Chain A
Amino acid sequence: MKKNYVMTLLFLLGILVSIPLYAQQTVKGKVIAQEDGKPLPGASILIQGTNTGTVTDIDGFYSINVPNAKSVLVFSFIGFDSKSLPVGSATILDVVLATSASDLDEFIVTAFGISQEKKSLGYAAQSIDSEAITATKQVNVVNALQGQVAGVQVTNSGGAPGQSARIIIRGINSLDPNADNQPLFVVDGVPVDNSTVESAGTPRGMTNRIADINPNDIETMSVLKGAAATALYGVRAANGAVIITTKKGKSGQVQVNFSSSFGMDELVKKPALQDEYGQGFSGVRDDSSFWPSWGASFAEENDPNYVFQDNWTNAFNTGKTFDNNLSVSGGNDKATFYGSFGRLDQEGIIPFSNWERTTAKLSGTVTASEKFNFSGSINYSNSGGNRVPHDRFLERMMYWSESTDVTDYINEDGTMKTYGNTNPIYDARFATYEDDVNRVIGNINFNYSPTDWLMFSYRLGTDFYSDSRTEITPGPMGIVGEQALDDIGFLEETRINSKDLNSNFYITLKKQWNESWNTQLRVGNDIFQRKYDRITATGKEFVIPGFYNLSNTTQIFASQGKSVRRLVGFYGDLMVDYKNFLFLNVTGRNDISSTLPKENNSFFYPSVSLGYVFSENFDMPSWFTFGKLRASWAQVGKDTNPHILGATFVSPSVFPLNGQVGFSKNSTFGDPALKPERTTSVEFGTQLAFFNNKLNLDVTYYKSNSKDQIIPVPISDATGFSSYITNAGEIENKGFEFVIGGTPLERGDFRWDVTANLTTNNNEVKSIREGIDQIVIGSQYGYASATVTMILKEGQSYGNIYGASYVRAGADPESEFLDRSLPQVIASNGFPLRNGNQLILGNAVPKLFGGLKNQFNYKGFEFSFLVDFRTGLEQYNQFGNFLSAFGKQEDAERRNETVVFPGVLADGSQNTKPVWLGQGKGPDGVDYGAGYWRNNYRGSSENFVNDASYIKLRNITLAYNLQPEVLNKTPFRTARIALAANNIILSTPWDGFDPESFSAGAGGNAVGFTGLGFPGVQSYFVTLNLGF
């Protein structure tokens, strides 16, 4: 193993063998930028009409020998307008280049926070700037990426304050149902924690930890997609990386920025619900019935005490968000600073749900001398709130009578006001779960350049947080006749401590060999450690009601979970640039992980990428502004979770009992010969610009294969284990990414910009280890055996949802797929016949998704809107299953109708039998029992596995910036007011709450189950920004 990286380093060092230059008669000079007068290193100088040229050195100096005085030198640098100058008699030509207005010259922040010309990259990368991040007023930076970047799929797990959002780049790469497929988040060159620790009991919509970062502190976010882009971050970036660069001070005057915004949330969408029938069963009113809406018709009952309450509107509040931020920045040539303070308060649409975040940041850079500079930053955040049991809230809403006001939930003595069922609002108020997270992210960077071609850099990053959680469910208050939330009540105190350490040392060697060749080599060492410790103490049965302290409980249980993970990596990264149009990047990395068996814990993986800017090599027609081809091949290894190897014993949580602690063999067995997982990806792409950048296009094809996947494979319980963690399979993801942008109109002060992105994804389970037919990813409950399961099988794609369906006439008995186009078979009782066999009813992974952004500027006005969509996916609508069990869906208004179900009888003839849909005895004298929806409809999963496509207006913003002539009369440097709206559904076939919400939270792969989670919200914001 150690041989591996030593060889790599030697190989890379070998390229640095000197090639001597010899001097001739020359023109010398310096190239500087117009804006700040700083030298431009790496600017290209070409003798017009030839292929001869050079580039400037690190201080902007160049020298070139020219054939004669008539020669014309073309000075160009990415991001600047080119200049052509005749040499004449000059021997010294200093040149000032002006910043160009085009968009192509982007620099993009890549590995280790190094700013790199996008032009030179051999792989696709996209970034969004601070304005795009904050325009949408997203609390969670993950959401700010939504619809903006090709290949990136962002999904809100729900609309709760602070609730996690999930980000997936180029599809799910793992067969492991519990794997976190999200990319690595890197802040200022240091990876940070983005885990979501869901509550152990009923789902509470916890936060993914990157939400501790204040979006207002972010300068840019770039998304590195393929393994090539992330080879330098090692195993933790196997799913890509999101590189966040925070704002820094700029030399010049001290700037103060203040922004304040107020937003409102409301339910984005509700299912279509019935409003004609009230509490009871079989059409009979019963004011204490368990059944919320199988009772009498309001119209027929005609009683002011038995009317529709519109609980589904009244139970939800208008959410509110206040966000205030203040930043101060400034500096001079030697040092800069940036400090900020942010405070966010959010109240959710479910009563008593809230979240707040306070952030403070201080960063600074110091250029001590020409050779030495350093910088550091510290980011403190405190976040948390009351997390309502949202899943249970909606379940209880489901059971709650349609003819009893749900908002009238409490008696004067504080007990629950109810006719029998638990009131959801009372539960949300008193069954609390509060988290309080204190987090400090810090980093410090040193750069030392003893000579102009050599630099030593060191970064140390820390990410510490403590998460203190308290869950309280009160017991009885001791009041006669009360209905308590729990028989005895309980209190659970959880304390989580997590500490991440990152150390990264690297050496950069730069060499400009001659006019044509330029190289840069970086070698380094990277160390990562995460220590995690959770302690949970649960107390049950309060002695004094309402006094919530562990010492006030009669039974106490405790549990603990600890882990340590360490990674050591060695890497090398060589960039070769030929005449500023051909770029080669070779990387190699060797990781050693503490989580793998010692024999297999060291693994090497290389990458190579090539970028070719052909438009600078050939003469192109004038309308062809820019053209580049790129290709890359990369591997990345992946380790596993800590402490999973071998066989262990567990003490089931029920102990101690009678003073005894029992032990049982752990049913999970980690393969002692586990190997690292390996993902190989290839990528081809092109970036084109036409008509002086009025139109540009970026197309990428990607394909990645993850082999030797480390999966907990379910095995026969009779082996002594139920789950065998081993290298068990391969999954393939492939697709295209398109980014099209342009400026269709630019006239005077008016400018219209358009960007669109589009991603296709196809994945396939290429293989599963021999002896295993399928891997169950997860399942979600449905009444009457309508439970659906997500199962992986070889040759199929990820995300297939299996469930019960109706029998179809003429269906291929061999096919696992339900063919909905075939006629249903109607049983002799006149209702559709149910198929007990589990068939594939849909697939939960979108095949196509993208976004379209339009931006209009006119003088101080800005108007923009971002539309995004996804299509080609189905989800299980558990809510729909529950609605039909309780007769709350709009369709249940047909309960007094007699219909003939379309379909064929077993003998193939058309069904003609009329049946009644209601409960009990129908008009035809037949007893229909619990009725069509309960007896038949809810038991067929196919009714609830539905198209979950949508088109959303993700964001629409109207802003006005005060113009200089007005500003001059005010104390402000800048002033801006903006109105924005987010997450407005334009179109979806989905009948339910926001189809984007799902039950699992951000940390898992079981995305096809919408569950009863916190429904999605749409928001409206008004924001004021002032600069001094």
Chain B
Amino acid sequence: MKLKNKIKTLLGVSLVLSASACESYLDVNDNPNNPQDAPISGLMTNITYETSWNVYREGSAVSNYVQYLASPNPGSSSDTMEPLNFSSLWFSLYNVMTDLYTMNEKAEAEGARHYLGAGQVLMALNLGMTVDLFGDVPFSESFNFTTVTPAYDDDKALYGNIMSLLDQGISNLQATTTSSMGNDDFIYGGDLDLWLKFAHTLKARYMIHQKGDPGYSAAEVLAAVDKGFKTNDQNAQVVFFEQRFNPWASDAIANANLNLTGWISEQFIQALDGTSYPTVDPRLKLMVGTTKEGKFVGTVNGAGRGNAPEQGARSTLVEGQYYTSRQAPLLIATFAELKFIEAEAAFATDKTRAYAAYLAGIEAHMNMLSVNSTEKSAYLTHPSVSMGAAALTIDAIFKEKYVAMFLHPETWNDARRYDYGYKNMTLPENLNPDLGGKYLRRLAYPDSEVSRNGANVPVVSLLDRVWWNQ
């Protein structure tokens, strides 16, 4: 039995040896593909890029509600205002806010105050875009994985966060910093002055939303306007890339390849072609395509294209125009928008300022589209447009803002504040019967939240309004 003992000893020794050797042998689980940490500037690059995409995503989600676009198919749920599942939009918004949260934490720790400031401005923007669509949303328990089911915060309280983030951002952008933004910033290439103007423009935007609220002050809006954009060059935008086309351009290309999308609503065509208003807008031909016969024909929301063929019979987005060039900018906030905010804010107190801002807003948008000067002045001098300060109406401001903000999600905020009061705007055909003949006022919470965080998701109907739209 000697041999047996030897074996036992051998076995014991080898077990002990292999146990210790095995620990380092098995220590190979660090991720070789994804780093544990990322530089602030890499986060900034993706955040600015994805923020512009979020504006596109929201624009794409609500363009049928404001009747910029219409589905070529009858009874399409995006036209008829049925509850849709916006899970991927929600993901994109929270994905960018998660990156912002992470970047801001790192920037604060490193003393990179300019990154922190820009991060706070963009956090305010992405949070604002989320609240405006959904109302109450998670924020205070978000991003740091303290719970898998974060609570929903009150939308009015979140507006407090938005304003405070913008103020903090403005202050940090002016502080001394350990590192500076540059080409990693796809919006301004690190230009602090423009970041500050952008922050003030956003303050004006989020304050004008609160017009009906007792805390609203037109003077504060106008003060923000004064510190905001001064020219089109200062627009907050991301210019797209040779390797990556502007998504509206991609939609136009897809439609040309018969993946039908980007069909223009009859409401939008008629607002510009002289049907709803006395003037023919020279911008129409620079914004949308024509039929085979060179005519502008819209599609009635909810009605579909009827017996019209896939191509050539209706106006659609076509590649190569201002909004639809492959390397066109995606607009986040514009000088034109700010002018219309100024017009609206000044309207009650200072008609002259309001009127001047209104005209400046139209002209700014026309300059963006490079409308030739003859057509521009013809339009601007048409009595239905240049009605004079005394005759200026809120309707005129909202109408011109509607045109100038083509495809931008901010128009849906305007539409709801304006009770969808655009001239000749009618409910879509085949309207969701649950709406009882009214326009929808909010988006349904996405299926992903209902299935993953169901207990916290507020029960709402599509007619329930966000706080600033009561």
Contacts and interface: CB of A to CB of B under 8 A. Distances in A.
A612 B306 CA distance: 76
Contacts of A477: none
Contact of A664 (B39, B46, B149, B448): B46
A110 B47 CA distance: 56
Interface string A911-926: 0000000001000000
A451 interface: yes
Contacts of B452: 714-716, 772-773
Interface string B202-236: 00000000000000000000000000000000000
B287 to A, nearest CB: 24
Interface stretch (B11-19, B278-286, B398-406): B11-19
Interface residues of A, number: 79
A717 B26 contact: no
B50 A658 contact: no
A562 B33 contact: yes
Nearest to A568: B22
Contacts of B363: none
A724 B242 CA distance: 36
A593 B91 CA distance: 33
Interface string B24-58: 01111111111111110111011101100000000
Contacts of B99: 664-665
A35 B188 CA distance: 89
B311 to A, nearest CB: 8
Most-contacted residue by chain B among A9, A450, A568 (CB, 10 A) = A568
B183 A659 contact: yes
A673 interface: no
A649 B34 contact: yes
A397 B27 CA distance: 52
Interface in A1-58: 2, 5-6, 9, 13, 16, 18
Contacts of A646: 31, 36
B149 A771 contact: yes
B52 to A, nearest CB: 12
A781 interface: no
Nearest to A282: B307
A598 B24 CA distance: 11
A450 B8 contact: no
B157 to A, nearest CB: 16
Contact of B33 (A13, A561, A659): A561
A648 B94 contact: no
Most-contacted residue by chain A among B8, B18, B148, B448 (CB, 10 A) = B148
Interface string A926-943: 000110000100000000
A187 B29 CA distance: 28
A568 B14 CA distance: 14
Contact of A454 (B3, B27, B37, B102): B3
Given A643-B29, A660-B183, A719 B145 contact: yes
B9 interface: no
A568 B26 contact: yes
A593 B26 contact: yes
A281 interface: yes
A1013 B4 CA distance: 61
Contacts of B18: 525, 568
B31 A717 contact: no
Contacts of A564: 28, 32
Given A507-B7, A649-B36, A772-B452, A663 B145 contact: no
B167 interface: no
B307 A720 contact: no
A667 interface: yes
B244 A595 contact: no
Contact of B148 (A282, A592, A645, A771): A771
A651 B98 CA distance: 15
A657 interface: yes
A872 interface: no
Interface string B132-158: 000001110111110111100000000
A774 interface: yes
B49 A720 contact: no
A966 interface: no
Interface residues of B, number: 78
B26 A601 contact: yes
Given A646-B36, A717-B90, A719-B143, A655 B29 contact: no
A650 interface: yes
Contacts of A719: 142-143, 145, 147-148, 150
B19 A663 contact: no
B310 interface: yes
A101 interface: no
B22 A563 contact: no
A661 B3 CA distance: 64
Nearest to B130: A718
State the main secondary structure of chain B at its contact with A.
loop
A523 interface: yes
Interface in B75-133: 77, 82, 90-91, 94-95, 98-99, 101-102
Contacts of A454: 3, 7
Contacts of A660: 41-42, 45, 183-184, 186
A776 B87 CA distance: 13
B11 A662 contact: no
B451 interface: yes
A926 to B, nearest CB: 14
Interface string A587-599: 0000011110010
B150 A450 contact: no
A523 B244 CA distance: 59
B453 interface: yes
A856 interface: no
Most-contacted residue by chain B among A9, A555, A663, A935 (CB, 10 A) = A663
B139 to A, nearest CB: 8
B32 to A, nearest CB: 4
Given A2-B19, A662-B42, A669 B145 contact: yes
A654 interface: yes
B374 interface: no
A717 B86 CA distance: 12
Nearest to B92: A717
B454 interface: yes
B451 A774 contact: yes
B446 to A, nearest CB: 9
Contact of B29 (A18, A595, A772): A595
B144 A651 contact: no
Nearest to B149: A771
A663 B43 contact: yes
A692 interface: no
B390 interface: no
Interface in A620-666: 642-643, 645-652, 654-655, 657-666
Contacts of B28: 564, 566, 594, 642
Contacts of B453: 715-716, 718
A643 B32 CA distance: 8
Contacts of A557: 243
B45 A451 contact: no
B37 A649 contact: yes
Interface of B: 1, 3-4, 7-8, 11, 15, 18-19, 22-23, 25-39, 41-43, 45-47, 49-50, 74, 77, 82, 90-91, 94-95, 98-99, 101-102, 137-139, 141-145, 147-150, 183-184, 186, 241-244, 253, 258, 304, 306-307, 309-310, 448-449, 451-455
Q: Report the 3 A-B pairs with minimum CB-CB distance, sorted nearest first.
A: A662-B46, A663-B38, A718-B138
24 contacts: A5-B15, A9-B15, A281-B307, A555-B242, A566-B26, A594-B27, A601-B26, A643-B31, A648-B31, A649-B42, A655-B45, A660-B45, A662-B43, A662-B49, A714-B448, A716-B150, A717-B94, A717-B95, A719-B143, A720-B143, A720-B144, A721-B145, A722-B95, A773-B452
Given A660-B42, A664-B43, A718-B137, 16 more contacts: A13-B8, A290-B258, A568-B18, A568-B25, A592-B26, A594-B28, A643-B33, A646-B36, A649-B35, A649-B38, A657-B45, A657-B244, A663-B38, A664-B95, A716-B453, A930-B74
